[in-house]
Amino acid sequence: MGPTRGLKRKKKNNKAEKKVDQNAFVASLGSQLLQPLDWWDDFSRRITGPLSQTMTFESIFKISRKTFSYICSLVKDDMLAKTSYFDYKGNPLSLNDQVAVALRRLSSGDSLSIVGDSFGMNQSTVSQLTWRFVEAMEERGLHHLCWPSTEAEMEIIKSKFEKIRSLPNCCGAIDTTHIMMTLPNVHPDNDVWIDYEKNSSMILQAIVDPEMRFRNVIAGWPGSLSDAIVLQSSGFFKLSEDGERLNGKKIVLSEGTELREYIVGDAGFPLLPWLLTPYPRRGLSDFQAEFNKRHYATRMVAQRALARLKEMWRIIHGVMWKPDRHRLPRIILVCCILHNIIIDMEDEMQDEMPFSHHHDSGYRQQCCESVDKSASILREKLSLHLAGTT
């Protein structure tokens, strides 16, 4: 299976789905989901080992019960449509039980045996439930990860980006991160997964809005590829180059130059008319250095989003032990969807997560020397405009 692209799966569903209407969601939940307290009282008594010492719902799952109930409502039909599962004592696992197991596996990154022992079930049950949940979320939750569909929605995004450090008409921030893997010792394809820091890894590329929500993701490319090559291999690149993306309202700068919609990225990406990167660090004029400061502060949302993703969904934070490379991109995608759901639900638990921008510790900054001449001129005009010198 090739890389998983967050915007290509089930496109017809994306157009029909909207942001969570919390009132509608509460009204639609079944009685089982509206009584999480009763379920949790019973489920918590079954937890063993270290988890039993911190048996609060929030400490184990890192999300609110409201968000948990919403996730259950999304996957209910798919999770209950197939074979039933049971714990060690032969008790059937309810929908909430199944979702709890899958979320714990994804959020903790603990082994199948640790999760199984904690929740009183065998490893194969944990594995099967987690994968069933991943498939269900891909199908039912993808509308939480989509590019803005209306001009009004995009205008809100651009306004929020401009409030960060005054970059006008900015529509997103792009960055990449590496998902570490331990591969089998003997495999003919191993070398392609060795990145420039000599680790085995898979790349996740993400475009983020001002609220750290993922708007476009692609996962699955080998770690040996550069950020620029991954971008150029993506559907987003083709759409932008063909004028089908970032093709909304232009603004006019103070000296008359038109500024199209664009995203911002670090020096590892090419400088393009729709992707503005910083100036090389040496020999900068005052207005160029000021542009770099504004640019850095704006694209920081992408770094923070990736750092929070890895911190929250720790199955992709550490080293994946001999992962199925066909399934891993789909697991990464679902973690991104869950990340967005927490934001869309305005989950109060996210406020307790630490703010960090370190998502690729030990990796040096990549540098791409590809520069589009017209983009270079546009960046200069924008820098002068921001400095008020034109």
Pair (263, 158) in one structural domain = yes
Average pLDDT of the chain is: 88
If pLDDT is split at 50, 70 and 90, which confidence band does 24 have?
very low
Q: What is the pLDDT of residue 157?
A: 98
Residue at 108: amino acid letter: S
User: What percent of the chain is modeled with pLDDT above 90?
Assistant: 72
Q: What is the pLDDT of residue 87?
A: 87
Let me know if 208 is exposed, middle or buried by CB neighbors in 10 A (0-12, 13-18, 19+): buried
Residue 389's pLDDT band (boundaries 50, 70, 90)? low
Q: How far apart, in whole angstroms, are the C-alpha atoms of residue 143 and residue 9?
A: 10
7 in a structural domain? no
Percent of the chain whose predicted confidence (pLDDT) is above 70: 88
Both 211 and 106 in a single domain? no
* Same domain membership, residue 302 and residue 158: yes
Residue 32: what pLDDT? Answer: 40
**39-91 per-position pLDDT tens digit:** 998 888 888 888 877 678 988 999 999 999 999 999 999 999 877 898 888 88
Owner of token pair 């620029």 = 228
- Whether 116 shows a pLDDT value over 70: the answer reads yes
> Are 155 and 106 members of one domain?
no
3 within some domain? no
Q: Does the pLDDT at position 20 exceed 60?
A: no
Q: What pLDDT is recorded for position 37? A: 56
> Both 32 and 102 in a single domain?
yes
For residue range 322-360, list pLDDT tens digits in order. 788 889 999 999 999 999 999 999 998 887 776 777 888
In a domain, 121, yes or no: yes
Q: How many CB atoms lie within 10 A of CB 258?
A: 11
Q: End of a domain among 108, 126, 143?
A: 143
- pLDDT digit string (tens) for 199-256? 999 999 999 999 999 999 999 999 999 999 999 999 999 999 999 999 999 999 988 9
Residues 214 and 117 occupy one common structural domain: no
Question: Is residue 8 assigned to a domain?
Answer: no
Position 10 scores a pLDDT of 42
Joined together, the tokens standing for residue 84 give 């039933």
Q: Is residue 2 part of a domain?
A: no
The pair of structure tokens assigned to 79 is 């999770």
Answer yes or no: do 94 and 222 share one domain. Answer: no
Res. 34: pLDDT tops 70: no
Beta-carbon contacts of 344 under 8 Å, excluding residues fewer than 6 positions away, are 19, 20, 144, 213
Final residue belonging to a domain, choices 143, 168, 196: 143
**Measured distance CA(12)–CA(25) in Å, rounded:** 21
Q: Which residues of 308-318 are buried (b: 16+ CB within 10 A; e: fewer)?
A: bbbbbbbbbbe
Query: Reduced to 3 states, what is the DSSP secondary structure of residue 234?
Result: coil
Query: Are 115 and 157 part of one and the same domain?
Result: no
Range 281-291 average pLDDT: 95
Cα→Cα distances 68→26, 58, 100, 134, Å:
12, 10, 8, 15
Same domain, 223 and 349: yes
Same domain, 190 and 337: yes
Overall pTM surpassing 0.85 (yes/no):
yes
Judge whether residue 3 has pLDDT over 90.
no
Mean pLDDT of 125-147: 97
Residue in the structure block whose two tokens are 């022992």 = 117
pLDDT of residue 26: 44
Structural domain span for residue 136: 14-143
The strand pair at 320-321 and 262-264 is best described as unpaired
Q: What is the pLDDT of residue 324?
A: 84
Measured CA to CA, the distance from residue 358 to residue 336 in angstroms comes to: 17
Q: Which stretches of 1-92 are DSSP H helices?
A: 11-16, 22-28, 36-44, 57-61, 65-80
Q: Is the pLDDT of residue 9 over 50?
A: no
| 106 within domain boundaries | yes
Domain boundary among 103, 124, 143: 143
DSSP 167: -
Number of domains in the chain: 2
Is 354 within a domain? Answer: yes
Report residue 104 as tokens.
């714990």
4 within a domain of the structure (yes/no)? no
Q: Which residues lie across from 176 on neighbouring strands? A: 205
pLDDT of 321 reads 77
Same domain, 259 and 361: yes
3-state class percentages of the chain: helix first, strand second, coil last, to nearest 5: 50, 15, 40
Return the minimum-mean-pLDDT range out of 78-87, 258-267, 274-283, 341-350.
78-87
Are 158 and 257 members of one domain? yes
170-182 and 262-264: which strand pairing? parallel
pLDDT, position 1: 40
